[in-house]
Amino acid sequence: MTTQNGRVRDAVTTARRVVVKIGSSSLTTATGGLADERVDTLVDTLGRLTAEGREVVLVSSGAIAAGLAPLGLSRRPRDLATQQAAASVGQGLLIGRYAASFARHGRTVGQVLLTVDDVTRRAHYRNAYRTLRKLLDLRAVPIVNENDTVATQEIRFGDNDRLAALVAALVHADLLVLLSDVDALWTGDPTNPHSTRIAEVRDDADLAGITIGGAGRSGVGTGGMVTKVEAARIATGFGIPVVLTAADLATQALAGEPVGTLFHPQRQRPTARLFWLAHATSPRGRLHLDPGAVAAVVGRRKSLLPAGITAVDGTFTAGDPVDLVDTAGASVARGLVNYDAVELPGLLGRSTSELAAALGPAYEREVVHRDDLVLL
C-alpha cells in the first residue's frame, strides 16, 4: 500500500471489481433535473475501467432529485408520498440517461432497485447477490439504487452510502469509491482555514477529535459526512479499501492518484454470514439479559439460554434478528432468535431441561445459538 506522497495507490490500481457510489448533488442541477454533462463525465471514467477488463457496479442516488423539475417541484418535498412520486418519475429518467451514456462505450446497464428487506432478509440478500453477479458475468454495468418508490422509512439519499458499502461486501468488491461534493474527509468544516485534509485513515484512532457533520453543499441531497464515514467503516470491516473524494476527482481517484481520503481495510475479513448479521440487518426486537448471561454471551461466546433473559421487547418471529442488551440497555450482540416473541415470556428464567420436561423436547434449545450471534 502506498501513501499520500505522490505515488500511485496500489489498492486502487489493482482492484478488479469496483463499486462506485455517487450522490444526487453530484448528478443534478440546483433546481432539480439531471445534469447531462456530469453524468457523461462519470460514465466516461467508468467506461474506461470496463475497457480495461475491470468490473464496475454503480450505486447512484438521484431518482427523487431527477423527478423534481418534470413534476414542477422547486425543492425536495418533505412528505413521503410526494417523494415517492418524484422517485417514480426520476428513476426512469436516471436509468435512461445512464443507458444512453454507457451505450457510447458499448456497455449495457441493468437496473437493480433494492429495499431495506433486500439487504436485511437473508434470502433476499442472496437473491440480490445472484442478480448482481450474473449482470457482471454478462459484462453489464449494474446501476443500484434504493427503491424509493416503495420505501416507507429512511427514504433519504444518505442511506445510499450504507447501501454502497453493503453492495461492496455483497459482491466481494476489491474497492469502494464514495463520490460526493466534498473532496475528502477534513478535520472540520472544509471552509474553515484551520481545517486540514485527512489523507489516510487506518483505524478509528485516526478519527479522534474530528468534527464530522453537515450535509453536502447542494440542496437536493441529504447524505452528510457521517454516513460516508460509517459506510467506510462497514466496507473496511469487510476488508475493502475505500476512497472518499469529490465527483469531479473521480478520474484521478480511480487512476490511483493520492486524492481524497483513503480508508485502509482491516486485515482479516469476517465471514459473510456474520458480516450480514452485524451490518445488513435491522433488529426486530430486543432481549434483555441479566449480568450472568451477558458474561456468558460476550465473555465466553456461549449461546443465549432462556434462563438468562429478563424481558422481551418487540414483535418478531423465529429466524428474525434481535439485539441482546445488557442491564443498562446497551446492545452487546445481535443474533437470530429461535422463538417467536409471543412464546418467550413464558420461558424466561427457566432452564432448558426444565422446559423440556414441562413442554416437550422441542423447548430444549437455545434462544439464540452462538453460531447465529455476532458481538456489537
Looking at 275, 295, 326, which one is the last position of a domain? 275
Same domain? For 129 and 255 the reply is yes
Asked if residue 318 is part of any domain, the answer here is yes
Same domain? For 197 and 52 the reply is yes
Nearest to 158 by CA among 24, 262, 64: 24
Same domain? For 62 and 197 the reply is yes
- How much helix, strand and coil, in percent to the nearest 5, is found in the chain? 40, 20, 40
Alpha-carbon radius of gyration of the chain: 23
Residue 291 and residue 289: Cα distance in Å, rounded? 7
Same domain? For 157 and 260 the reply is yes
For the chain, how many structural domains are there in total? Answer: 2
**DSSP per-residue codes, 10-75:** HHHHT-SEEEEEE-GGGTB-TTSSB-HHHHHHHHHHHHHHHHTT-EEEEEE--HHHHTTTTTT-SS
Same domain? For 161 and 57 the reply is yes
Looking at 249, 275, 301, which one is the last position of a domain? 275
The parts of the chain modelled with pLDDT lower than 70 are 1-7, 31-32, 116-117, 119-122, 148-159, 209, 211-223
Residue 287 and residue 137: Cα distance in Å, rounded? 42
Asked if residue 5 is part of any domain, the answer here is no
CA distances from 299 to 260, 271, 286, 334, 375 (A): 39, 20, 19, 15, 10
Residue 311 and residue 143: Cα distance in Å, rounded? 43
pTM comes to 0.80
> Residue 299: which CATH number?
2.30.130.10
Asked if residue 187 is part of any domain, the answer here is yes
> Residue 212: what pLDDT?
60
> Residue 150: what pLDDT?
65
Same domain? For 103 and 209 the reply is yes
Asked if residue 295 is part of any domain, the answer here is yes
Same domain? For 121 and 46 the reply is yes
Range(s) of the domain holding residue 186: 10-275
Looking at 275, 294, 315, which one is the last position of a domain? 275
> Residue 159: what pLDDT?
63
Asked if residue 136 is part of any domain, the answer here is yes
> Residue 226: what pLDDT?
84
> Residue 55: which CATH number?
3.40.1160.10
Same domain? For 244 and 294 the reply is no
Asked if residue 1 is part of any domain, the answer here is no
Same domain? For 93 and 228 the reply is yes
Asked if residue 27 is part of any domain, the answer here is yes
Same domain? For 122 and 212 the reply is yes
Same domain? For 26 and 75 the reply is yes
Asked if residue 3 is part of any domain, the answer here is no
> Residue 121: what pLDDT?
67
Same domain? For 129 and 224 the reply is yes
